[in-house]
Amino acid sequence: MAAPLAHVGVLSIGQMGLGISRLLLDHGFHVITNASDRSIATQKRAKSASIECVSSDTELVARSDYIFSIVPPRDAMRTAKRICAVFERDPTVRAKGQHPLYYLELNAVSPNTARNIGAVFEKDNQLLRFLDGGIIGGPPAKTSGETTWTRPGIPLSGPYPLYEAPLHGSRLTEVLNTQHLDSRIGTASGLKCTFAALSKGFTALALQSFTTAASLGVLPQLQEYIAQYNPSVKDRAEKSIIACLPKAYRWVEEMNQIGQCFAGEGGWSETANVFRNVSNVYEQLATAVEERGGTEGMEDISGALSVLTESLHDGHKSTYEIEAETSV
């Protein structure tokens, strides 16, 4: 067996992390992770995908040429501090003469948060190269029997382009479908925010529109009118509602980060607080899924909306139902 091109540490092995790990493994990279604090199911999922599980962050840092942070936005800073703590405990954790470790911040955070995370590693700048990034699109996938992968786009920014990394950085750049935007930390995160605002903002509007129509008893009519006058919106809305159910908990903080981006970078100030309300939409959705213990029974649009509408009203009648009863 040929030696791996490089060792890539992935934190953590969720749906996206798993997809990227499989993509890397298929292209000659060795993937490792520290899942010692994760569930047994996560550890088994990693091992079944041929991802090597190490027992500590120290071992992960010592053996990795690259580390990808792919965690919920709320955990981005904590994950960075975990890695930084390894250098603080043992400044010699990286072997003498070893290439600098490249840390790719790939989470859905605002430019300011990305800059704050980058600052965590500043004193270790001789040992580590920080890249700001984001993932646009779904997890990498390869259809059974196929040789080509569908891949998300990964914009990157910062003073250390990935394609200049000494250990097969140009190959890694190609495999990951990345583009380097510029030398500033925050540019890539900002691009991710502007993209996600459109896609996930639309889903939040669809959630509120469809559930409200269901409460009014006019959901079929709403669907009919959308199908007649804008059929692509109907399909997109229904698919996006179903797809977001298991991911809503991740999007709560992402919406707050988008608000920060639009306020700070876009100049929208208090107006960007609209994303705080969008965040609340996903928080309510995540609560409904959690209370149900998962998405069982929510596989199609009617089932999903039935559960969501019930959760939103939480046992009390809608204004429409009360008015209908009192008018009798």
SS3 (DSSP) at 241: helix
Q: DSSP strand E in 6-95: where?
A: 7-11, 30-34, 52-54, 66-69
316-324 own/partner pairs: CB under 8 Å, 24+ apart = 318/215, 318/216, 320/215, 320/216, 320/217, 321/215
Q: Please give the Cα distance from 18 to 38 (Å, whole number).
A: 14
Neighbours of 190 (CB within 10 A): 26
Q: Please give the Cα distance from 106 to 155 (Å, whole number).
A: 9
Neighbours of 261 (CB within 10 A): 28
Domain extents in the chain: 7-185, 190-326
Provide the pLDDT for residue 124. 66
* 131 contacts 158 by C-beta, under 8 angstroms: yes
* 103 contacts 129 by C-beta, under 8 angstroms: yes
Helices (H) and strands (E) in the chain, counts: 13, 8
**Residue recorded with tokens 């405990």:** 89
Q: What CATH number does domain 7-185 carry, 1.10.443.10, 3.40.50.300, 3.30.210.10, 3.40.50.720?
A: 3.40.50.720
Provide the pLDDT for residue 328. 45
Q: Please give the Cα distance from 183 to 173 (Å, whole number).
A: 16
Provide the pLDDT for residue 226. 96
Q: Please give the Cα distance from 107 to 84 (Å, whole number).
A: 17
Q: If we measure between CA atoms, which residue out of 98, 259, 262, 284 comes closest to residue 207?
A: 284
Provide the pLDDT for residue 321. 43
Q: Which residues contact 151 (CB under 8 A, 6 or more apart)?
A: 23, 137, 140, 176, 177
Provide the pLDDT for residue 42. 83
| Amino acid symbol at 143 | T
* 15 contacts 72 by C-beta, under 8 angstroms: no
Output the pTM of the full model: 0.90
**What is the block-wise mean pLDDT of the chain (328 residues), using blocks of 10 residues?**
92 93 97 88 88 95 97 96 92 87 97 96 82 96 84 97 96 98 98 97 96 94 96 94 94 97 95 93 92 89 88 59 47
Fold of the CATH domain 190-326: N-(1-d-carboxylethyl)-l-norvaline Dehydrogenase; domain 2 (1.10.1040)
Q: DSSP strand E in 22-161: where?
A: 30-34, 52-54, 66-69, 101-105, 128-133, 154-157
**Residue recorded with tokens 């091992």:** 47
H helix or E strand, kind and range, residue 42: helix 40-48
Provide the pLDDT for residue 96. 81
SS3 (DSSP) at 110: coil
